[in-house]
Amino acid sequence: MLQISFDDFLKVDIRVGEIIYSEPYPEARKPAIKLWIDFGPEIGKKRSSAQITANYKPEKLVGKQVMAVVNFKPRQIGKFISEVLVLGLSDIDGGIVLIGPDRTVENGGKMH
């Protein structure tokens, strides 16, 4: 396992945001969902492409709060620019389960 220093960890900016819009992304190499996420006034609204189709439908994601790395360089995913990395864990079948707070918190809150 690669070890990093605490200072390295502090460079990763993980924030909570609310999904405000989502739609299928069938053109992606692997099935994905396009997400538009509101991270509050400091970060603003950002986009992400997430391979979460095994456990989520786009219409059920709006209003859900998720955790994401907000200081990655944007990545081109097909014709879509992904600006943040939404965080998740693999379930027993290999599908991704999104990570988020267990109660509503202010959008843009930083993980400590």
Please report the pLDDT score of residue 112 as a whole number: 86
CA distance 112 to 96: 23
Determine the topology of domain 19-98 in CATH: OB fold (Dihydrolipoamide Acetyltransferase, E2P) (2.40.50)
The CA distances from residue 57 to 5, 19, 66, 105, in Å, are 38, 13, 15, 23
* Domain-wise residue ranges, the chain: 19-98
Structure confidence by residue, pLDDT tens digits, 19-76 = 999 999 998 889 999 999 999 999 999 999 999 999 999 999 999 999 999 999 999 9
pTM across the whole model: 0.95
Residue 31: both structure tokens together:
């099935």
Residue 2: both structure tokens together:
């690669």
